[in-house]
Chains A and B, each alone.
Chain A
Amino acid sequence: MLVLIVLLLSAVVIAAPVKTPHVEAELVSEVRTFTASEPFWVAVRLRMKPQWHTYWINPGDSGLATKVEWDLPEGFRIGELLWPVPEKIVSGPLVTFGYFGEVFLLAKIVPPDELIVGNYKFSAKVNWLVCREECIPESAELALVLKGTREFALPDPKWKRPLGEAKLRLPASLPNWSVTASVIDDELLLNFSTPSKVGNLEGLIFYCEQSGIIDYAAEQKVSLSQSGFQLRLKRSQYAASLPEEIRGVLYNPAGWGQAVVALSVRGKLIQQAYAATSSPTGFRPIQQITSVWLAVLLAFLGGLILNLMPCVLPVLSIKVLGFVRRAEDGKAWKHGLVFTLGVLVSFWLLAGLLLLLRSGGEQLGWGFQLQSPSFLICLSMFLFLLGLSLFGVFEIGLSLGRFQNTGYSGYTSSFLSGALATVVATPCTGPFMGSALGYALLQPALTTLVVFTALALGMATPYLLLCSFPSLLKYVPKSGPWMESFKKLMGFLMMGTVVWLVWVLGLQAGMNAVAMQLAAFVVASLGVWIYGRWASILNESRVRLAASALAGLLVFSSLLGVLFFVRRDDVDARSEIQWQEYSPALVAQLLAARQPVFIDFTAAWCLSCQVNERVTFTSQEVIDELRKRNVTMVKADWTLRDDTITRALAEFGRSGVPLYVLYSGIPGDSPKILPEVITPSILIEELKKLK
């Protein structure tokens, strides 16, 4: 009975959009259930009648900001209210800032560490002024009941996506930018030092969060400066005195890259008025690349190094064997060229696809395809079968492992090995490549293609060299029975890669998906065994046809089976270090509390990340040093697509992982970017530099 009453009560409160004459207001959450100390987002949702608007944190020349007073259960904390970028509303000589249609005012709730399972009621008293021509003050008492559980946070399918989209409308922070403000006569100058050249600045709008600082109706003049750009704002007539810090939001209709539309601006006011000629004070990370030639060079080197990565080596070493073979009939150089073409074309395709998706507004970076479980399933199946082929279970006409064929299919094979090498190489983003690709992806499409071309050429160069100077081939052993053994040996390396991919799949899609994938391997290997046993030329054609059909059926049905099955079932890895899940708000909060923070941008499919984590973050010395210095460890896990993390990477000029960032926690200190290959000694040395 009591249960029933509680259920009824909570049901009443949960379904609670409050309707006022001009606004529908509601308190919504991204989760239905939450767990101890795992923060979650809530939002005050206001839906205005057509043509009516409510106001931003600074309403402008008239109006009034929406006010939210929270009432939370004991022990819960809530972050500051975050306002999406407003619209500039011009009516005659007056300018105001507000929202039409629907707006989500976001805040993050931090539950207490000790949570008693049960229902919790979150309330907010919201006051707003809603205007069209005339203005009406309205208010509502909103409430939301969520269940605190021990098990897991259950997302609310209705609000998870709208809140995610609303978060994208929040201004992003700009750690590598420095902003200063100064006053000359009746103008307020904002000087932005940017780490790299900014793109299109047309239609730029600075929304000042503080009222009475600038004249909203006056033109905002933008000019490029040596270190970035300058914004000249007219001071408000009502600005009696200026605060020490000018706060606001810088909106760029063209975007700031990576789907960021607005940046959060905090500009210290410099009292002396001659800042126009001052030198840039902005921090420039060493790895930040600003020249296209440097990016091309690094991409080339990165491409060379890719050849040694464990995911590429088996495919390519077999190719080398192919060259050995060709050397005998003098066609090596042709195959070298076709191979290079294969690498080039597939890099272009990948880059083109990436650019295309990004221009469509997707938050993607290099290695994006490995964030898709379906891609992992197909790739691991492909490599598994390739491994079986290397073991000699079967051979197919176009098999990359087949060296006996000549002519047409030989060239196809060379081309395909180039393509395959590219596809399997992406997870092994080598040192250098992080910055080169990060740079490339922010450039115009042509530059991007040039950098990717350099990468592809770097990767193909060793083979091109071997081919162009056949004399070099004399250093490669002559073909013979050892090749068969080498092939089998490479088969094991291939299976190693398969194990790793299946592990990544497990992280993304859970244990059940792994089991399904393994079962699919068994069925598919039965298929290729049947093919190898009965589809050889020795059998009559009827048998061959039946065997091929059966094999194809088994392979494809097993593959489709897993693809349909895949479901996410997150499993978190445990380690000695207490990792906090990354969010910009968490980092900002820690920095405000003057805490040193280390951020590990990582992904399960990023091999170098995994190596670094195994080697460095399990080292007892490192753990001790971290404890001693009270460094908060934050993990930004990019295994699955995550727009917030993609955006954060972009702010550091990156589009891929690994990336390691250390904040000293001292106000004014710029974050330090550590090398991609991080060792215990490098990390300890950096930690010792902290005060």
Chain B
Amino acid sequence: MKAISTFLALVLVCAACYPTAGASGVAVGKPAPAFSLKDADGKTHSLADFKGKYVVLEWVNYECPFVKKHYDTANMQKLQKEFTAKGVVWLSINSSAPGKQGHFPPERINALMKEKGAAPTAYLIDSDGTVGKLYGAKTTPHMYIIDPQGNLIYMGAIDDKPSTEKADVETARNYVRAALEEALSGKPVSVVTTQPYGCSVKY
């Protein structure tokens, strides 16, 4: 019964938000909308499965130069490893439509992740863009952090240097790291929303 009502709510929210992603009900301090997506091995992951844990959502597109900046410098992998080791769930989500940049067949995904040394909890395939639009994801990367109660505590950019210059990773202030560190040590998150930057999500 509960699953049905959640599904209905999801459909309603989606119908309302479809044309303008920004109009989605996603906001810091409010419950993060529920979703279920499959990974490259066909295994389904639901947000509800991770209740009681911090969850990071990372919109990803391996072919986007902004994403490359963070993977080629191992910045993203480092974050993934460091925080999954601390019990944080890290979900990389790809919302590229089939045929568009960043969309890969499942077998290619596992190879790519291995090649890059990516270490998320799961890489989720959102080919029809439902979850991307539900969250109003605009760019790759676009980051969201959800607390153990299921509320959104951060949304926006990965750091404060909107560029494709790899050297900027060194000097940038990483908002995701800062928010996770604050949250894990029981402090309130100081910067809760920032303007995301990157390539457009290829819906």
Q: Real complex partners, A and B? A: yes
Binding site for B on A (CB under 8 A): 61-64, 91-94, 96, 127, 129, 131, 133-137, 211-212, 215-218, 234, 236-240
A217 contacts B22, CB within 8 Å? yes
> Does B150 belong to the interface (CB within 8 Å)?
no
Looking at the complex, which of B4-12, B70-78, B179-187, B192-200 is the stretch in contact with chain A?
Answer: B192-200
Q: In whole angstroms, how far apart are the Cα atoms of A62 and B92 in the complex? A: 19
Nearest chain A CB to B21's CB is how many angstroms away? 4
Q: In whole angstroms, how far apart are the Cα atoms of A93 and B23 in the complex? A: 10
The 9 residue pairs across chains A and B that have the minimum distance between CB atoms: A212-B195, A93-B21, A62-B200, A137-B164, A92-B203, A134-B101, A215-B22, A61-B138, A62-B139
Q: In whole angstroms, how far apart are the Cα atoms of A225 and B23 in the complex? A: 27
Nearest chain A CB to B51's CB is how many angstroms away? 24
Residues of A within 8 A of B191 (CB): 240
Residues of A within 8 A of B192 (CB): 240
Residues of A within 8 A of B19 (CB): 93, 217
Q: Which of A91, A133, A137, A237 has the most CB of B within 10 A?
A: A237
Q: What string of 1s and 0s marks CB contacts (under 8 Å) between B139-164 and chain A?
A: 10000000000000001100000111
B200 contacts A96, CB within 8 Å? yes
Residues of B within 8 A of A94 (CB): 21, 138, 200-201, 203
Residues of B within 8 A of A236 (CB): 22, 195
A64 contacts B164, CB within 8 Å? yes
Q: In whole angstroms, how far apart are the Cα atoms of A217 and B21 in the complex? A: 8
> Does B57 belong to the interface (CB within 8 Å)?
no
> Does B37 belong to the interface (CB within 8 Å)?
no
Residues of B within 8 A of A216 (CB): 22
Task: Give chain B's interface secondary structure class.
Answer: loop
Partner of A238, one of B18, B193, B198, B202: B193
> Does B79 belong to the interface (CB within 8 Å)?
no
Contacts A62-B138, A64-B162, A93-B19 known; A238 to B26 CB distance under 8 Å? no
Residues of B within 8 A of A93 (CB): 18-22, 133, 136, 138, 203
Residues of A within 8 A of B162 (CB): 64
B22 contacts A237, CB within 8 Å? yes
> Does B53 belong to the interface (CB within 8 Å)?
no
Nearest chain B CB to A364's CB is how many angstroms away? 43
B20 contacts A218, CB within 8 Å? yes
Q: What string of 1s and 0s marks CB contacts (under 8 Å) between B104-144 and chain A?
A: 00000000000000000000000001000100101100000
Residues of B within 8 A of A129 (CB): 65, 164
A64 contacts B193, CB within 8 Å? no
Task: Name the residue on A nearest B196 (C-beta).
Answer: A238
Q: In whole angstroms, how far apart are the Cα atoms of A135 and B23 in the complex? A: 26
Residues of A within 8 A of B194 (CB): 212, 238, 240
Contacts A61-B138, A238-B193 known; A218 to B200 CB distance under 8 Å? no
Residues of B within 8 A of A234 (CB): 22-23
> Does B177 belong to the interface (CB within 8 Å)?
no
Nearest chain B CB to A128's CB is how many angstroms away? 10
Q: In whole angstroms, how far apart are the Cα atoms of A62 and B199 in the complex? A: 5
Contacts A61-B200, A64-B164, A137-B65 known; A218 to B193 CB distance under 8 Å? no
Nearest chain B CB to A37's CB is how many angstroms away? 36
A218 contacts B23, CB within 8 Å? yes
Q: In whole angstroms, how far apart are the Cα atoms of A63 and B63 in the complex? A: 14
Task: Name the residue on B nearest A215 (C-beta).
Answer: B22
